[in-house]
Structure 1
Amino acid sequence: MKNLDQFGARTRLGAALCAACFATLAGFPAAARAEVLDRPAPPSTLALKRSLSGIAVQGANALAVGVRGTILVSRDAGKSWQQASVPVSADLTTVRFTAPGVAWALGHDGVALRSADSGRTWTRVLDGRSLAALVKTHYGALAAAGSAEAAEVLAELDRALRQSATPGVLPYPLLDIRIGADGEGFLAGAFGVLLRTQDAGKTWEPMLEKAANDRRMHLYALEQGADGNFYLAGEQGLLRRYDRATGRFTELASPYAGTFFGLKANGTALVAYGLRGNAFVSEDNAATWKPLALGAAATVVAAIPAGPGQFAFVTQSGQVVLAGADGKPASAAPRTRGEVFDAALSAPGQLALAGIGGVTLAPMPSK
């Protein structure tokens, strides 16, 4: 596990949010840092205007997450929002629906929250204390049985905890989650954090040493492809595919040496996207990739399936580009105002954009 000061602007939040989002990583006294796990997010009239880093939509239900434990809930596809009651005040990074009515919100200080009622109420599943204990227990047993890999992970954990401003708290941000219909899934985060579940998130098993990621690069994105396989993406062109036979992620040839911030699949293609408008598409389950000419210079923060072989790509600068697997951009919508950090399709022809100042709605470009 890397030194905390290496995290910086290379995280998804670093590419998307202001420096204030890293207060949970550095600069706060231990007592104040501990409060983000022990104190629920306070209700605020300002919540609807806070910086939001993640958004997810399922039917008419929409969720958005951001700084200070903010979770916003909409029951009308993003037209109006209310603040949810949240058990922590840590900065949140990502929100995902993983089953009908089931949502997960992830964040700094190892926070993973689960909702079984489309975001109305939230339960803490993991935080920096329980995550540290989980890693220590799992690899402690393996190290005692003679595993050199496990002993190395334990040594990394010890170094990370000694650097943490809060004793016993592993402050690493969790950044993405995917759970399949059969209950198998993964949770990924900064500094190579990777967990596996086989029961839809009731229990988690650490597998940092099974990601072909000895350098513990940040893991930003998970996706389940049309082939049923799970894919993983991260720093410095990291691309991996899960091999159920070995129980490990295996390295894939990457078309790009820069950071990937996201993966998205539709019925026929898988796209990977990241810094400076870079996006790539594969139509053969990540065996080969070709670049997409988005004509954008800003970081791509979201890709939304928009029909067979087509995706709407949203950039941090607010540009929305509709592109097909042929590699040629079809059309682009006018830029929205303000920085955008995530996006989702909230209704036919309508995007919900999360960023500075809350959620805004924008039209999908015409084909």
Structure 2
Amino acid sequence: MGVACALLSAAAVAMSLTPVVADVLDIPATLSPLALRSPVTGIASSGGVAIAVGPRGVVLRSTDSGETWKQIQVPNSADLASVRFTDDNTAWVMGHDGIVLRSTDKGENWTRILDGRVALSLIDAYYAKQAAAGDEGAERVQVEIERAAAQSATPGVLSYPFFDIALNADGEGFLVGAFGLLLHTTDGGASWEPWLERAENPRRMHLYMLNTVGNEVYLSGEQGVMRRLDRASGQFVTIETPYGGSFFGSLASNETLIVYGLRGTALVSTDGGLEWKPVKLNVDASIVAALPAADGRLVWVSQDGQVRLSDRDGSSVTELDMPRAGEVLSAALVAPRRLALGTHQGIRLVDIPMGRP
């Protein structure tokens, strides 16, 4: 994905550009040459294919390392926030009005999996049943959701955006979004169960990104939210970090756990989150992306277009002297030495020197 998405900025861009319209869930995105110059809020690349998304249902696709892009028709014109591949063939697009789209052919065709109508009905019915059984916590969630729906400009639609998805090989996974949205699936997304109360997130902070490694699942979000799935309890439990600002993303491997976000903040842990040390990126702007490169290193991209290289544990940081691309909303490696940067004016390609000093 643009695991790389600066999702807070992406949401702000999308909401500022497109008012909520009653039928954006029913009207297909307009195909237009202007789509190539519209804001790009999310980019992802896998298996030789790159996909970029933006406001008004714009989905762009490239099969030549970002040299050329083609707009792809999708069944709605809701503002889109992010995109992620869950394997080389399967891609997911998420956005406002609860929209979730899936492609199983590398982004050529898209099917709606969820939208704000279905999500509202699903969540409301689930917590109404729990509340009827005497669950006071479920009753509180139900009230929250009904209040949110009442405030939506589109009647009967939960207008919150979804931001990220993660699925394992067995079809189990999660979907996260604004104001604590958290859904669980065990069948590859064919059905979903609300988990809003299972993330130790009573203030309903935005949940921006999911990351998996083996049987572990991590989620990160607003105001220092960092959680790990405890399978024994069926709950996401808090991982303490030394930073209370928003985390826009995370990376997990068998050796390291990395989180990154506001004001150039990046932290790395080599013991599952018990202890953390800062990654010294020498960047003041928010970190938009931390991208695993083919040589095992990480490529870091900031919102103001600065690029850094580091070892996978965050050490040996190298500052790259490269031309700035203006404000960067998202980023992905579309080739071993090529970055695609999502900006307010479309996609900008930047070749990066990967040689070690």
Bucket of the pairwise TM-score, normalised by the shorter protein? over 0.9
Unaligned regions of 5+ residues in structure 2, if any? none
Matched residue of 1:34: which SS?
Answer: coil
% identity of equivalent residues: 49
Matched to 1:107, the amino acid is G
**1:74 counterpart (30, 55, 62):** 62
- 8 Å CA contact 1:268, 1:309 repeated in 2: no
The answer to whether 1:21 aligns with 2:15 is yes
Match of 1:276 among 247, 252, 263: 263
Distance 1:201 1:20, change over 3 A: closer
Q: Alignment partner for residue 55 of structure 1, among 32, 43, 67? A: 43
Residues 226-265 of structure 1 mapped to structure 2, 5 A cutoff = 227-265=214-252
Unaligned runs of 5+ in 1: 1-10
Indicate how the Cα distance of structure 1 residues 363 and 270 shifts in structure 2: closer, same or farther if over 3 A, else same: farther
Equivalent in the alignment of 2:292: 305
Q: Which residue of 2 aligns with 1:285?
A: 272
Residue 245 of structure 1 aligns to a residue in which SS?
A: coil
Q: CA deviation at 1:67?
A: 0.8
Q: 1:237 to 1:345 in 2, by over 3 A?
A: same
Residues 230 and 242, structure 1, Cα contact 8 Å, conserved in 2:
yes
Q: Is the 8 A contact 2:212 2:218 kept in 1?
A: yes
Instruction: State the aligned residue count.
Output: 350
**Compared CA separation, residues 188 and 38, structure 1 to 2 (3 A):** same
Shift of 1:35: 2.0
Q: SS of the counterpart of 1:214?
A: coil
Q: Secondary structure at the match of 1:157?
A: helix
- 1:132-176 superposed Cα distances (whole Å, 9 cap, x missing partner): 001011111211222111111111111111111111111001111
Q: 1:343 maps to what in 2?
A: 331
Q: Aligned equivalents of 1:49 and 1:77: distance in 2?
A: 18
Are the structure 2 counterparts of residues 326 and 127 from structure 1 closer, same or farther at C-alpha, using a change threshold of 3 Å?
A: closer
Distance of 1:149 and 1:303 partners within structure 2: 36
**Residue 242 of structure 1: how far off its partner (Å):** 0.5
Which of 85, 99, 107 in structure 2 is aligned with 1:111? 99
Q: Is the 8 Å Cα contact of residues 185 and 197 (structure 1) preserved in structure 2?
A: yes
Question: Which deviates further from its counterpart, 305-314 or 88-97?
Answer: 305-314
- 2:282 pairs, out of 295, 303, 320, with 295
TM-score, normalisation: structure 2 = 0.93
Q: CA deviation at 1:253?
A: 0.8
Shift of 1:264: 1.7
Counterpart secondary structure, 1:186: strand
Q: Is the 2:325–2:343 contact (alpha carbons within 8 Å) kept by the matching residues of 1?
A: no
Change (3 A) 1:263 1:250: same
* 2:325–2:348 Cα contact (<8 Å) kept: no
TM-score normalised according to structure 1 size? 0.91
Instruction: Compute the displacement of 1:288 (Å).
Output: 1.8
* Equivalent residue number for residue 308 of structure 2: 321
Higher relative contact order (CA 8 A, sep 6+): 2
Q: Which amino acid aligns with 1:205?
A: E
Task: Supply the distance in 2 between the matched residues of 1:211 and 1:14 (Cα, whole angstroms).
Answer: 20
Letter matched to residue 257 of structure 1? G
CA contact (8 A) 2:288 2:330 kept: yes
The code of the aligned residue for 1:95 comes to: V
Q: CA deviation at 1:266?
A: 4.0
2:7–2:208 contact (8 Å) kept in structure 1: no
Partner residue in 2 for 1:218: 206
Pairing 1:46–2:40 present: no
Q: CA deviation at 1:270?
A: 2.0
